Amino acid sequence: MNRRTVAAVGAAVLLLALSGTVAGLLVWERGAKEPEAKPSPPPATEATPTPPPTVAVEATPPLPARCVMVEGPLPARLPGDRAASDVSQTYPFLSTTDDLAGNGYVEEEFLLAGEADAFGRDGTLLATGVPYRTRIIVRRPAAESRFDGTVLAEWQNVTAGYDLDALWDGKGFMRAGYAWVGVSAQRVGVDFLKDWSPARYGTLDVTGGGRYTEDQLSYDIFAQAALVLREPRARCPGSADPLGGLRPATVLGIGASQSALRMVVYYDAVLPKARYRPFDGYAFVVGPAPSREGSEPIFHVLSETDVRAVPRRRDDSDTYRRWEVAGAAHAGYRGYAYRLPILQRDLPSGPASYQCERPPLSRVSLHLVLRAAYAHLVAWVREGTPPPHAPDILRDETGSVARNELGLALGGIQLSQVAVPTALNTGANSGPGFCILLGTHIPFEPQRLAELYPSRERYLALVEQVDRNNVRLGYLLPEDAADLLAEARESGVGGD
């Protein structure tokens, strides 16, 4: 088979390998645990032998032992010079190119300084009162009238060696009125930021001065970042309000791939011992999900790529839902197209290229299913309305994804892009680097399209029927079904 080249956005949309170690990525599979952290030097403040008891969610939640100072918003100039010594001439790393102002949104960046608890990956409390200083980036409605009350706090993904806003969805979030906050919780991402713009990020540290280099502080940093969004008492006197006066009703913790794995450790091992519970619910995307049955609801969304890494599925429950999206890739075309110009702007070396065995980047719109999942998760938290169940992607006797005669996956949530196909879109690929994450996209030949859809009317009717049913089942929002139909109309498929 011919080898195809794809500019893979410097590994930015490529978040997690699924079988073995690929280019140093952290691998997950159902039930697997992260390796134990290397021993750290003695902390400044040793923990007591008995961890704090589990704390139930309260209207007025407990707070960190010390307040968090929130500084900002930092000045920003875009386009600017990241290497400038004057911070006012710099800008946030991976600042979005979406039209925020035209949609009544703003992007602002803040620095957080506080003291965090250090935890091992088994939930052991290692130390308290460890100083840290990090940043959050906020994209929010400028006016209260545009805000629906939901904050999505994302654990930024660092698999590529820098912070990645993997789950940012400008169109979907702005349409819904959500506020999105990206949290820099891990050493790798913070170290990159410090080198990328010393004037802007040079004071950041999430290691307690080098004592905790295995991200032992990351769990509490993530939690404290969420807490200062919803609880003014958690912020030190004189702090900025990172939401600009918006009053959140619901704060959700979200993470993709490796970040989902970090959140699993937080949910399963750290949260039961934590002093405060700042999240109302969680979305674990294209990665693992917790095994513990907790009080906060969990939405688990997987692409076809990720299903191969789940040897044993967890059953849905009163607080857990799993959706699997047929044909979708762990890192598909949409993320690639969005981030390519941003990474060309912000990465000194520019985006890298990778050779894949098959044409990469599935066009199946996982992000559209995620929009429906977020809406369900908000209703689940606020109203107690559980999301609908969804069918699993089917497997054959070897454990591989079962496929039809066209090579498309059977089962799972099937958008019209798979159920009424015009191309082979799968979650599978091979080749060096991150190719196994990109999926496949091979357009059908004109003869095959003519056989499948002898008339344009027939093709459009099938697309509309499939996605109307997806809306009815709760897997797709009506606006997104309309967009898929509009794309089908523009495709010219059907007839001669």
Question: What would the pLDDT profile of 380-391 be if each residue is shown by its tens digit?
Answer: 999 999 999 999
* 316 in any annotated domain: no
Examine the domain organization and report whether 47 and 184 are in the same domain: yes
Single residue among 230, 252, 287 that ends a domain in this structure: 287
What does R_g of the chain's alpha carbons equal in angstroms?
22
106 and 12 fall within a common domain? no
Instruction: Provide the sign of the torsion angle of the four alpha carbons 473, 476, 479, 485, taken in this order.
Output: negative
With beta carbons less than 8 A apart as the criterion, state whether 227 and 126 touch.
no
The end-to-end CA distance of the chain, in Å, is 30
287, 321, 344 — which closes off a domain? 287
If asked whether residues 240 and 352 sit together in one domain, one would say no
**Is 270 inside a domain boundary?**
yes
364 lies in the same domain as 398? yes
What is the rounded CA–CA span in Å between residue 386 and residue 495? 43
Q: Which residues, in sequence order, are CB contacts of 59 under 8 Å at separation 6+?
A: none
My answer on whether 351 and 368 are in the same domain is: yes
- Considering the domain architecture, whether residues 71 and 17 belong to the same structural domain is answered as no
Q: Let me know: does 290 contact 264? Beta carbons within 8 Å.
A: yes
Please write the tens of the pLDDT for every residue from 153-181: 999 999 999 999 999 999 999 999 999 99
Hey, is 115 helix, strand or coil? Answer: strand
Mean pLDDT of 359-375: 98
Give the pLDDT of residue 31: 37
Task: Give the pLDDT score at 62.
Answer: 77
Q: Does residue 2 lie within any of the structural domains?
A: yes
CB atoms within 10 A of CB 294: 16
Q: Is 215 found in the same domain as 125?
A: yes
CA 430 and chain centroid, separation: 23
Q: Which domain holds residue 204?
A: 39-287
What distance lies between CA 334 and its chain's CA centroid? Answer: 14
312 in a structural domain: no
Residues 472 and 450 in one domain: yes
- Do 345 and 478 share a domain, yes or no? yes
Let me know whether 61 and 22 are in one domain. Answer: no
Q: What pLDDT does 64 receive?
A: 81
249 and 198 in a common domain: yes
Which pLDDT does position 35 carry in this prediction? 34
Q: Which residues contact 142 (CB under 8 A, 6 or more apart)?
A: 104, 105, 106, 244
Q: Compute the distance between CA of residue 409 and CA of residue 397 in angstroms, rounded to an integer.
A: 14
Residue 496's pLDDT is: 62
pLDDT beyond 90 at 6:
no
Establish if 203 belongs to a structural domain. Answer: yes
Tell me, yes or no, whether 226 and 154 share the same domain: yes
Q: Structural domain tally of the chain?
A: 2
Per-residue confidence (pLDDT) for residue 349, from 0 to 100: 80
Instruction: Select from 262, 287, 312 the last residue of a domain.
Output: 287
In a domain, 191, yes or no: yes
